[in-house]
Structure 1
């Protein structure tokens, strides 16, 4: 006989994904409905933007527009979400700290005025700055809000490349959840190493900068679902509790429930 504990493992797996054959509470879907449902989420959100020469000013503006769409969806004015920005090329510029702007209108205006500057691709130092400068209490990092970073790049590191993935791993060990967005990448090993796992929910690769617009709802849904009370983890716990109670009350094999 299958115990409810082993059944729970089979049903939800390592990632907490509900078996579609099992009746469950409504699951959030990507898009506007998820954005609406995530008003109770919390997060300290960092955007790390590649401004190397290969990106160019026009495409850099497309990354800013992508970031603005995410900001419009997040509950900034309520204080549930804070946003920081790092821009990197040969150098790293911490352009906005988490506690610097606390309302959506001023934040959108600020993003519009972030300048493009060209150079090489020093992703490692940007990831180090994330740990050393952004996600620290003195610069607005909150102990009760998850740390989330979105790294956007169109190429692999060509400065300190050997440090890139180790820096990302150090951040992940400290609890930072990293979403990697590669634009036009032929080789994805570095963005794979930067991103948190599982890669199918944390690493994205689009053909060009114009395609960023097509994935913004999906990106925000994945960021938000993990952080809000309406997300998958919440429902997984609810369903597990329900199955647990039925098994105990009726002393039955879980497969007899169907």
Structure 2
């Protein structure tokens, strides 16, 4: 029996047959296909006997050990009466039970559930064999008397992605001759760790995968696997393709086909493409990357083992990283020195992928704005014309991507009084928002536009967001109160105002209420039937304002 214990200084000890082994950190994490927790630790022998207290955990049928997240190519080993533990150089770990004497001898190997990639490791004169040859014994060539505490630190397993990490992620992996079969397996392990930390699910991220080779191959779509265990198994079963590193071709394929609604793309959810390249691509990335940016897709380029100086002559475009990423600001490119040291990069890369506020390429005006409609319901408008106003506003709404994580619309009707018809976050899809507009009942009454602007500022735009809040005012006449003061106050709160006047609406008042430049934020028509002609210009104006402010 093995026991894990905690002393008063928060050090943990592995106690076996009354002997203590010191280690730095302890974390419980679930093992795939297992009902019990795995134990993640880095083990060292303690030279000082201590009296362990507090926490105690018994593990039946052998000790289960996982590699620490920041393990390097060094190996650390512990052995003593009844157990030998090895942490291999490729971040695999295995437990070997039995007595190891000076002459070696047979040992019984305890296979850990959920791990299938143990490689051979050599440490302190002991050679362990690969998983496929676990029936053999070890050879002990020299007796080891003391293992000092390692200088290599460990970190706790990073927390999984935030539950609000709601995005659609296409993973484009390298399956070319450049990476080879061995590094391809390491790449799959790295991708699996990323996927496990992201925690796919109906309310979280969705993940699909494409292999880059001579021709791209979609392995699974965003909605094929909605449970983490299924996704990890699908990654494990990926077959190596070989061929050229045509990453540009794979990016183009992904942009054109992968994020469609038919293939599981969700409206309003940020679109992310994480591209893994071993070394450098065989083709050009720039054209495909431009199309991705124009499509609102955030490309993260993860390059592993960048070209050494003597290889640079073979690189087609030395600036391929800058040209490929969503924005050349350092956030969207990530360099990993070697496939043998990827584990410590899982957490920071996951954090980048889930940084919704930094996903600049998905922040288009169509899916990132809050639009308020301030509708004149005075007696001079009339029932028939009021319906034309509502259809005009429905046409504007139709141009935007309305969703819980995308754009929002809300409406206020005014006469002398004001009425909040529906709030910005009340309807989370386009159809419901348009239906809500069409259900608005005509009020009839006087015209107090200034008071209506103040009411809307206080009751509709309660959430602030620079460059995101827009107010479209539609009126057909003279206001009975001051409009300049309330309009200036609204603009100081970050609301961009568009004035749309019909019939007898004074042009001076319309321009006074509109944001700068006045001419591009002011619209006027003699007839209500002319409102529809403004839809395209208004949408373009909102997009222009959004782009300039973001």
Whether the 8 Å contact between 1:151 and 1:180 is mirrored in structure 2 is yes
Match of 2:218 in 1: 94
Q: 1:190 aligned to 320, 323, 337, which one?
A: 320
Q: TM-score, normalised by structure 1?
A: 0.71
Match of 2:188 in 1: 64
In the alignment, the residues of structure 2 paired with residue 208 and residue 201 of structure 1 have an alpha-carbon distance, to the nearest angstrom, of 20
* 1:60 partner SS: helix
Whether the 8 Å contact between 1:124 and 1:165 is mirrored in structure 2 is yes
In the alignment, the residues of structure 2 paired with residue 154 and residue 199 of structure 1 have an alpha-carbon distance, to the nearest angstrom, of 22
In the alignment, the residues of structure 1 paired with residue 227 and residue 203 of structure 2 have an alpha-carbon distance, to the nearest angstrom, of 8
1:124 to partner: Cα distance: 1.6
Match of 2:99 in 1: none
* Distance verdict in 2 for CA 1:47–1:227, change over 3 Å: farther
Match of 2:518 in 1: none
Q: TM-score, normalised by structure 2?
A: 0.34
In the alignment, the residues of structure 2 paired with residue 239 and residue 85 of structure 1 have an alpha-carbon distance, to the nearest angstrom, of 34
1:159-178 → structure 2 map (5 Å cutoff)? 161-162=283-284, 164-178=285-299
Q: 2:265 aligned to 141, 163, 172, which one?
A: 141
Match of 1:214 in 2: 344
* Distance verdict in 2 for CA 1:112–1:212, change over 3 Å: same
1:32-47 → structure 2 map (5 Å cutoff)? 32-33=158-159, 35=160, 38-47=162-171
User: Does residue 151 in structure 1 map to residue 272 in structure 2?
Assistant: no
In the alignment, the residues of structure 2 paired with residue 51 and residue 128 of structure 1 have an alpha-carbon distance, to the nearest angstrom, of 16
1:199 to partner: Cα distance: 3.6
* 1:196 partner SS: coil
Normalized per residue, the structure richer in helix is 1
* Distance verdict in 2 for CA 1:227–1:59, change over 3 Å: farther
In the alignment, the residues of structure 2 paired with residue 119 and residue 54 of structure 1 have an alpha-carbon distance, to the nearest angstrom, of 8
* Distance verdict in 2 for CA 1:239–1:86, change over 3 Å: closer
Whether the 8 Å contact between 1:179 and 1:203 is mirrored in structure 2 is yes
In the alignment, the residues of structure 1 paired with residue 291 and residue 279 of structure 2 have an alpha-carbon distance, to the nearest angstrom, of 21
Whether the 8 Å contact between 2:163 and 2:203 is mirrored in structure 1 is no
- Structure showing greater Rg: 2
1:15-54 → structure 2 map (5 Å cutoff)? 32-33=158-159, 35=160, 38-54=162-178
1:235-250 → structure 2 map (5 Å cutoff)? none
What are the superposed Cα offsets for residues 103-153 of structure 1, whole Å, 9 maximum, x if unpaired? 111111111000112111111210111112211111000112110011001
Q: 1:83 aligned to 170, 190, 207, which one?
A: 207
Whether the 8 Å contact between 1:79 and 1:102 is mirrored in structure 2 is no
1:65 to partner: Cα distance: 1.2
Structure 1 residue runs of 4 or more that deviate by more than 4 Å after TM superposition: 237-240
* 1:45 partner SS: strand
Which ranges in structure 1 are unaligned for 5 or more consecutive residues? Answer: 1-30, 229-236, 241-247, 249-258
Whether the 8 Å contact between 1:84 and 1:97 is mirrored in structure 2 is yes
In the alignment, the residues of structure 1 paired with residue 357 and residue 186 of structure 2 have an alpha-carbon distance, to the nearest angstrom, of 26
Report how many residues are paired: 200
* Distance verdict in 2 for CA 1:167–1:149, change over 3 Å: same
Normalized per residue, the structure richer in strand is 2
